Amino acid sequence: MSEATTRANSPGTNTGTEPPPSKNLRGLMPYLRRYTGPIIFGLLMVFFMGAVSNILPLATGILTDTLAGSPAPFEHSKTAGAVLAAAPHLSKLSRAIPYYAPHSRHTLGIYCLIIVFCVAVKGLLSFAGRWILIGVSRDIEYDIRSDLLDRLLALEPEFYVRNRTGELMSRATNDLNSVRMVLGPGIMYSATTVVTMIMAILVMVTLSPSLTLWVLLPAPIVAIAVWLFGKTIHELYEVIQAALATLTARVQENLSGVRIVRAYAQEEAEMRSFDEPNREYVSRNIRLIRTWSMFMPSLQALSGTSFLIVLWQGGRQLLTGQITLGALIAFFFYLNQLVWPMIALGWVTNIFQRGAASMGRLNFILTAKPNIDDRKALLPADSALRGEVEFRNLTFAYPTTVSGVNGSNGSNGSGKSSGGGPHAVLSDINLKIPAGSTLAVVGPTGCGKTTLAALVARLWEAPEGTVLIDGHPIQHWPLETLRRSIGYVPQDTYLFTETVGGNIAFGLPNYNAERCREAAEIASLHGDIQDFAGGYDTAVGERGITLSGGQKQRTAIARAIVRDPRILILDDALSSVDTQTEEKILSGLRGVMRGRTTILISHRTSTVQNADQIVVLREGRIIERGTHDELLECGGYYADLYQKQLLEEELENA
């Protein structure tokens, strides 16, 4: 069983063993390492922007002291000696400021130009930092989305039995967008906040250590509030994303089955069933909004408290001559610069908590280990298959159970249920199909015919040594080599939202019009395509909605034939065509089947009567085997089936 399918019942919700947010975000480290250079360069832009931003309040304070006539910037005229004696670092700062003179137009002009220059440079650095870091977040989003698709394509059907398509789509869209917010705005605003706060506090301490201490009194309360609200937001967002995934899954199922919904007049019922999870999703979002609406005003109130403290203590120090008016004005500007980081701290916390919850949901896919892979492959990738297939003492039970995640019904992918335990679908199968021969498999519904075909294509994993290709266990063949040598027409025909020609050429590296036409002629589809307005360029719609059931099956047959496979598997591939079309298709297939191994599954004896050997499955066991004539002489299940179908044909023709 794959690792992905052995997890808790609901991967999208917190089961009490969820990893901490920081651990979830560790999954981003490999992606961040790919862009180390651009990230460092972008962070340097943010650092320099913070440095330039911190010059602006200082320049404003100098302008204020120039207008006030202070003998030196940030030095009170009456008690300068006492101030400098108590704060020698302030004297160093004052002496380090050039071009200063009280009531000087020259000084005013220089520092006005400095402010204009700093504003312009800050704008350029802000643009550069945003362009680089947000651009990197988009690149990483692309990489993660590609890795998600690669992993989803590698996972076996068992994973999709347990996880609904709509929920996986929600993870690949909504959750991925939340992760991108962490990588872009999250990192950028975090860096801006840290740089701005550190630099501003350093200058504020230089101007007045005591006033800085008063201003930072609310800081511990801010830290506690951020931690408490952040934890709550993380938990709420996990639940919201799980609810959104459920909604997406329901919508996807209704859109895919819209014709069935309409045919059974269940529009109102489906709308009512959608209403409950929709209301639940809205109510959970309202809870998050309520929490968030309490969080932001709390931070703003704390920042407002800091302004009151500056007015109170700063005004007192100004009156006692401990600081100048310019220093107090600079202090106000620095505090104003700290307001945004305090608010951004809450916003960034929200982004990181959402991103951590979403990354945990993405990690469920990214860390899923497929059970079917090339770990045991021993043969070279360029090995050629002859096509001999052998089953040795094969007993197979589907590894899925009824209690799968997200409400999975435990279907085994073939219309059968595993019944909640390891019920054997196939038991003690011993069968050899020589290369180039045709095997036909018949039997009642649910006897294991489709399972047998799926094991040859290694869509499900058979016990090692029970399925062999050319004398080698199927696990020893590289997956790509094996599947490129197989043309598989499944019972449930699936067509892509493409043209007819595009669907036929799906398995080819490049579109080849001539080969597509030849395959369509063999499948008795070419005549129908010629009647289409666009010929082979006709769009078939989603899942081939514009085609009839027979046309879909013939398109799938052509898609398998065009690859020129060594092993051809037709799983009830002619069930939707009439007997005349069936005979026409079989006549065209005989030339194709000659020289290649063919496994033909059907309920019709007319389809299989020319096979080299026919086996009859019942309850997962082979009960009869032989040629058409030999089985008729036995008088068993196959003979009864043949007589019934012969009688049905006579009644139809009567």
- Is 205's pLDDT higher than 60? yes
Residue of higher predicted confidence among 242 and 558: 558
Structure tokens at 17: 């063993």
Alpha-carbon distance of 631 to 615, in angstroms, equals 9
Q: Read off the pLDDT of residues 25-72 as tens digits, 9 standing for 90 and up.
A: 888 889 999 999 999 999 999 999 988 988 888 888 888 888 887 777
d(CA 157, CA 459): 7
- When the pLDDT of each residue in the chain is averaged and rounded to a whole number, the result is 81
pLDDT of residue 343: 66
Does residue 415 sit within a domain?
Answer: no
What is the predicted pLDDT for the residue at 92? 66
- Among the three residues 332, 366, 400, which one is the final residue of a domain in this structure? 366
The pLDDT > 70 percentage for the chain reads 88
112 against 343, higher pLDDT: 112
pLDDT at residue 74 greater than cutoff 80: no
Q: How confident is the model at residue 215 (pLDDT cuts 50, 70, 90)?
A: confident
Judge whether 206 lies within some domain: yes
- Split at pLDDT 50, 70, 90, the class of 352 is confident
Give the mean pLDDT of 75-100.
58
- 156 by Cβ neighbours in 10 Å (0-12 / 13-18 / 19+) ranks as buried
The CATH number of the domain where 63 resides is what?
Answer: 1.20.1560.10
Confidence of residue 332 (pLDDT cuts 50, 70, 90): confident
Is the model more confident about 149 or about 419?
Answer: 149
- Check which CATH number belongs to the domain holding 517 and give it: 3.40.50.300
Is residue 5 over pLDDT 70? no
* pLDDT surpassing 70 at residue 15: no
Mean pLDDT of 502-508: 87
**pLDDT (0 to 100) of residue 421:** 44
Range of the domain at 335: 12-136+148-366
The pLDDT value given to residue 19:
60
| Residues 502 and 357 both lie in one domain | no
**Backbone torsion region of residue 135, taken as left when φ is above 0, otherwise alpha when ψ lies between -120 and 50, otherwise beta:** alpha
**Single pTM value for the model:** 0.72
Task: State pLDDT tens for residues 140-168.
Answer: 999 999 999 999 888 888 888 888 877 88
Higher local confidence (pLDDT), 116 or 163: 116
Summarised one tens digit per residue, pLDDT across range 452-497 is 999 999 988 899 999 999 999 999 999 889 988 998 888 888 888 8
Is 625 domain-assigned? no
What is the average per-residue pLDDT within 81-86?
44
Q: So what's the pLDDT on residue 16? A: 43
Tell me: pLDDT of 1 over 80: no
**Predicted confidence band at 231 (pLDDT cuts at 50, 70, 90)?**
confident
Question: pLDDT tier at 80 (50, 70, 90 boundaries)?
Answer: very low
In a domain, 598, yes or no: no
Distance between first and last Cα of the chain: 54
pLDDT digits (tens, 9 = 90+) for 510-545: 888 888 998 888 888 888 888 888 888 888 877 778
- Percentage of the residues of the chain whose pLDDT score is greater than 90: 16
Within 13 Å and on the Cβ side, how many CA atoms surround 265?
Answer: 0
* Range of weakest confidence among 51-60, 72-81, 548-557, 613-622: 72-81
Identify whether 215 is part of a domain: yes
Give which of 593, 634, 633 is closest to 610, Cα–Cα.
593
Specify the 3-state DSSP secondary structure of 541. coil
Q: Report the alpha-carbon distance of residue 351 to residue 233 in Å, rounded.
A: 10
Does residue 404 surpass a pLDDT of 50? no
The reported pLDDT for the residue numbered 654 is 61
Pairing of strands 438-442, 613-618: parallel
User: CA-to-CA distance for 390 and 470, rounded, in angstroms?
Assistant: 8
Last residue in a domain, options 507, 529, 564:
564
Q: What is the mean pLDDT of residues 387-396?
A: 92
Q: Is residue 422 part of a domain?
A: no
Is the residue at 122 inside a domain? yes
Q: What is the pLDDT of residue 409?
A: 35
Secondary-structure percent of the chain, ordered helix, strand, coil, rounded to 5: 65, 10, 25
What is the band of 407 on the pLDDT scale with cuts at 50, 70, 90?
Answer: very low
Question: Cβ(6)–Cβ(400) under 8 Å?
Answer: no
Q: How confident is the model at residue 607 (pLDDT cuts 50, 70, 90)?
A: confident
Q: Tell me what pLDDT residue 8 has.
A: 35
Indicate the Cα dihedral angle 153, 157, 162, 166, nearest 10°: 50
- Between CA 336 and CA 307 the distance in angstroms is 9
In this model, does residue 233 exceed pLDDT 80? no
Contacts of 98 (CB under 8 A, 6+ apart): none
Decide if 515 is inside a domain: yes
Burial of residue 78, with CB atoms counted within 10 A of its CB: 0-12 exposed, 13-18 middle, 19 or more buried? exposed
Q: Check pLDDT > 50 for residue 238.
A: yes
pLDDT in the model for residue 405: 37
Among 511, 545, 564, give the residue marking a domain's end: 564
How many domains does one find in the chain? 2
Residue 3, pLDDT score: 43
Tell whether the model's pLDDT for residue 139 goes beyond 90. yes
pLDDT at 299 over 80: no
Rounded distance between C-alpha atoms, residue 85 and residue 75, angstroms: 11
